[in-house]
C-alpha cells in the first residue's frame, strides 16, 4: 500500500509555479468534440484525472497525442455516442460534460455515470432539466443514462435553481450548435466557465457572459479548430498559499490569477497572515500568530468549497475558535476525523464545523478521504511535530501535478513509499 511519509516542522520558503486548471480542462476537452479537426491544448495538468479522461476520449474515437505541455486532439473522425463504465472513472468528475458534448456532436449519448468525489450528492436534475429544455429525450436504461435529440437542438430560456457548474457547462456545450438563442439564468460564474466560453468563442461560437449569472448562447452552424491554453488552477494556488502560511513559512505562488481565489486571500489576511498580491503572483507569509475566523462556502465569487478542507487544517492551529459553514457538499467534513488523529479539536454538527485551535499538531497515520481532504492532510502533516504517514495518496494525485516535487523544492520533506500488508 502506498503512502506519503511527511516530516513536519519545516517552514516552506520559496516560489511555486501553478499548473493548469483541472476543473477547466474537463469541459474544454469535452467541448472539443463539437469541432472536427486537430487542436492543441497547452498548460494542461498531467494529473491522474486528466490522463484517465484522455483515455475516455480515445475510447470515443478521439485521437490523442501527448507532449510536454499538453495534448493534441484529433476529432475529425466519427465519434461514438456511448461511454462504457470503467472502475478508474468512478471519481472522475470530468465525465459530466460529455453529456452535452455528445448530444451536440452526435445528437445522442449513452453514459454509465457522471462521476465525482464522494463528498456528497451531485444531483443531475439540473443537467437533465437543461438538456430537456433544448429538445432532448432522456431516460435510464439498465444503469445507463440515454439521451436522444427529438428533432433538433433548439435554443431556449433555462433557469437554474442553483448555479451548478456542471449543469451550466453542459448547457453551454450542448446549445453552442443548437438553433436559435439559449439564455441561462442563474448560471455558474466560476472562472472555469468563462474559460470554456473563451475556448468555444475562439472556435467560432457566439456566447456572451456578463458576470451576473446570465449567459447568452446564439447557436452557430459549425465550429472551426483552435489551439488553446488552459487557465491556471486557482484551487492549487490557494492550497500552496495556505500550506506556506500554515508551516510558518513564506511562499510565493506564481503564474496565477489572484482574482480567481480572492476570497481565500481575504480570509488569510483576516486570520492574521501577511499576503501581498501582484499581477500574476501572490505571496503569503506567517507573521506573529494566526487567529480564528469564520468561513462560509458559496458559489463563485464566494469562498470555494474546494478550499474548505485546506482551510480547516489551517485553522486547526489558530488562536481561539473558528466556524466553518459548508453550503455546497454535505460530506465535505470527512477529513475532520483524520485531522483529530493529529490532535486537532474539531466538532461537527450538520453543515457546521467548530474548530478550537490547538498549539500544535502531532504526526500520525491518516487516510485520505478525497482529493481536497488529501491536500488538507498534507498541510496538517507539514505543520505538525514529528512524522506522518498519509495513506491512499492516489486521491491527491488526481488533482495536483508534481505535488511532492513542488513541496520539497520549497523546503518540505515528503517521500512516496510503499508497504506490504500481510492478510
Q: Is 37 inside any structural domain?
A: yes
Do 307 and 269 belong together in one domain?
yes
Same domain, 270 and 152: no
The domain boundary residue, chosen from 168, 201, 229? 229
Task: Look at residue 197 in the predicted model and tell me its pLDDT.
Answer: 98
Span 356-385, mean pLDDT? 97
**Which three-class secondary structure state does DSSP give residue 17?**
strand
CA 338, CA 323: separation in Å to the nearest integer? Answer: 18
Domain span including residue 393: 2-19+232-418
Confidence of residue 124 (pLDDT cuts 50, 70, 90): confident
Report whether 96 contacts 81 (CB < 8 A). no
Res. 363: pLDDT tops 50: yes
pTM, full prediction: 0.94
Q: At 250, is the secondary structure helix, strand, or coil? A: strand
Average pLDDT over residues 259-263: 98
- 3-state class of 117 per DSSP? coil
- pLDDT of 121 higher than 60: no
- The number of beta carbons lying within 10 Å of the beta carbon of residue 272 is 17
Q: What is the pLDDT of residue 123?
A: 62
Residue 181 within a domain: yes
Query: Would residue 239 count as lying in a domain?
Result: yes
Q: Does residue 105 belong to any structural domain of this protein?
A: yes
In the structure, what pLDDT confidence band is assigned to residue 177 with cuts at 50, 70 and 90?
A: very high
Query: Read out DSSP for 333-358?
Result: TTHHHHHHTTT-EEEEETTEEEEE--
Asked whether residue 117 carries a pLDDT value surpassing 50, the answer given is no
Give the residue among 415, 411, 405 at the shortest CA–CA distance from 10. Answer: 411
For residue 423, being part of any structural domain is answered with no
* pLDDT of 420 higher than 80: no
**Are 156 and 177 in the same domain?**
yes
- Secondary structure in 3-state letters for 375-416: HHHHHHHHHCECEEEEECCHHHHCCCCCHHHHHHHCCCEEEE
Q: Are both 28 and 122 inside the same structural domain?
A: yes
Nearest C-alpha neighbor of 207 from the set 26, 25, 31, 20: 31
**Nearest Cα residue to 335 out of 314, 357, 360:** 314
Which three cell numbers mark 422? 500481510
Facing residues of 370 across strands?
Answer: none
- Domain match, 223 and 363 both: no
Of 229, 255, 279, which residue constitutes the final position of a domain? 229
Question: How much is the pLDDT for 141?
Answer: 83
For residue range 275-286, what is the model confidence (pLDDT) as tens digits?
Answer: 999 999 999 999
Task: List the one residue out of 270, 274, 279 whose CA is nearest residue 318.
Answer: 270
Q: Place 140 in a pLDDT band, splitting at 50, 70 and 90.
A: confident
Q: What is the mean pLDDT of the chain?
A: 93
For 126, residues 6+ apart whose C-beta sits below 8 A from its C-beta are 160, 161, 162, 164, 167
Rg of the chain taking only CA atoms, in angstroms: 22
Among residues 197, 214, 229, the one where a domain terminates is 229
199 and 276, same structural domain?
Answer: no
pLDDT for position 332: 79
8-state DSSP, 231 = P
Catalytic residues: 117
pLDDT of the residue at 155: 97
Residue 78 lies in a domain: yes
- The Cα–Cα gap between 351 and 265 comes to 23
**Percentage, residues of the chain above pLDDT 70:** 94
Cβ atoms of 124 and 148 closer than 8 Å: no
Does residue 220 lie within any of the structural domains?
A: yes
Domain count, the chain: 2
| 237 and 102 within one domain | no
> What does the pLDDT read at residue 120?
44
CA separation for the pair 95, 293 (Å, rounded)? 36
User: Do 258 and 157 belong together in one domain?
Assistant: no
Q: Is the pLDDT of residue 300 over 70?
A: yes
User: What is the DSSP code (8-state) at residue 90?
Assistant: T
Residues 77 and 201 in one domain: yes
Per-residue confidence band for 118, with pLDDT thresholds at 50, 70 and 90: very low
Q: In this structure, are 221 and 237 located in the same domain?
A: no
On whether both 224 and 263 belong to a single domain, the answer is no
Residue 25: CA count within 13 A, CB half-sphere: 32
- Does an H or E element contain 48, and which? helix 48-59
Residue carrying the nine cell digits 520559496: 14
Q: Is pLDDT above 70 for 423? A: no
Strand order in the sheet with 345-349: 294-296, 321-325, 352-356, 345-349
Give CA torsion, residues 101, 20, 229, 225, to 10 deg: -20
Q: Are residues 139 and 85 in the same domain?
A: yes
Q: What is the pLDDT of residue 372?
A: 96
Q: Centre a 10 Å sphere on the Cβ of residue 139 and count the other Cβ atoms it contains.
A: 9
Residue 43 lies in a domain: yes
pLDDT above 90 covers a percentage of the chain that reads 87
Residue 382: which CATH number?
A: 3.65.10.10
Amino acid at each position: 500500500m502506498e503512502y506519503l511519509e511527511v516530516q513536519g516542522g519545516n517552514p516552506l520558503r520559496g516560489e511555486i509555479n501553478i499548473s493548469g486548471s483541472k476543473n477547466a480542462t474537463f469541459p474544454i476537452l469535452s467541448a472539443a468534440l463539437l469541432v472536427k479537426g486537430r487542436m492543441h491544448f497547452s498548460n494542461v495538468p498531467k494529473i491522474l484525472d486528466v490522463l484517465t479522461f484522455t483515455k475516455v476520449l480515445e475510447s470515443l474515437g478521439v485521437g490523442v497525442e501527448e507532449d510536454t505541455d499538453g495534448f493534441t486532439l484529433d476529432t475529425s473522425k466519427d465519434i461514438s455516442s456511448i461511454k462504457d463504465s470503467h472502475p478508474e472513472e468512478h471519481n472522475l468528475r470530468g465525465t459530466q460534460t460529455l453529456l452535452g458534448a455528445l448530444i451536440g456532436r452526435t445528437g445522442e449519448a449513452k453514459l454509465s455515470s457522471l462521476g465525482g468525489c464522494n463528498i456528497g450528492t451531485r444531483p443531475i436534475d439540473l443537467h437533465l432539466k437543461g438538456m430537456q429544455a433544448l429538445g432532448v429525450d432522456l431516460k435510464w436504461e439498465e444503469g445507463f443514462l440515454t439521451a436522444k435529440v427529438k428533432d433538433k437542438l433548439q435554443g431556449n430560456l433555462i433557469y437554474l435553481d442553483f448555479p451548478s457548474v456542471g449543469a451550466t457547462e453542459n448547457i453551454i456545450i450542448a446549445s453552442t450548435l443548437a438553433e436559435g438563442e439559449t439564455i441561462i439564468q442563474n448560471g455558474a460564474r466560476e472562472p472555469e466557465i468563462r474559460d470554456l466560453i473563451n475556448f468555444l468563442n475562439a472556435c467560432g461560437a457566439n456566447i456572451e457572459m456578463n458576470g451576473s449569472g446570465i449567459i447568452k448562447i446564439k447557436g452557430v452552424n459549425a465550429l472551426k479548430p483552435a489551439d488553446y491554453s488552459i487557465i491556471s488552477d486557482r484551487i492549487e494556488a490557494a492550497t500552496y498559499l495556505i500550506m506556506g502560511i500554515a508551516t510558518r513559512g513564506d511562499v510565493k505562488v506564481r503564474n496565477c490569477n489572484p482574482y480567481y481565489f480572492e476570497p481565500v486571500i481575504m480570509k488569510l489576511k483576516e486570520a492574521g497572515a501577511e499576503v501581498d498580491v501582484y499581477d500574476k503572483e501572490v505571496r503569503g507569509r506567517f507573521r506573529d500568530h494566526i487567529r480564528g475566523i469564520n468561513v462560509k462556502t458559496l458559489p463563485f465569487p464566494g469562498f470555494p468549497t474546494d478550499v474548505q478542507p485546506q482551510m480547516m487544517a489551517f485553522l486547526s492551529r489558530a488562536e481561539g475558535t473558528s466556524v466553518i459553514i459548508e453550503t455546497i457538499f454535505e460530506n465535505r467534513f470527512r477529513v475532520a476525523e483524520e485531522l483529530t488523529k493529529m490532535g486537532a479539536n474539531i466538532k461537527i454538527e450538520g453543515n457546521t464545523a467548530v474548530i478550537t485551535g490547538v498549539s500544535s499538531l502531532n504526526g500520525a497515520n491518516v487516510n485520505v478521504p478525497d482529493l481536497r481532504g488529501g491536500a488538507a492532510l498534507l498541510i496538517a502533516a507539514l505543520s505538525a511535530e514529528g512524522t506522518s504517514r498519509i495513506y491512499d495518496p492516489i486521491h491527491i494525485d488526481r488533482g495536483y501535478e508534481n505535488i511532492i516535487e513542488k513541496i520539497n523544492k520549497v523546503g518540505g520533506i515528503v517521500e512516496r513509499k510503499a508497504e506490504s500488508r500481510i492478510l
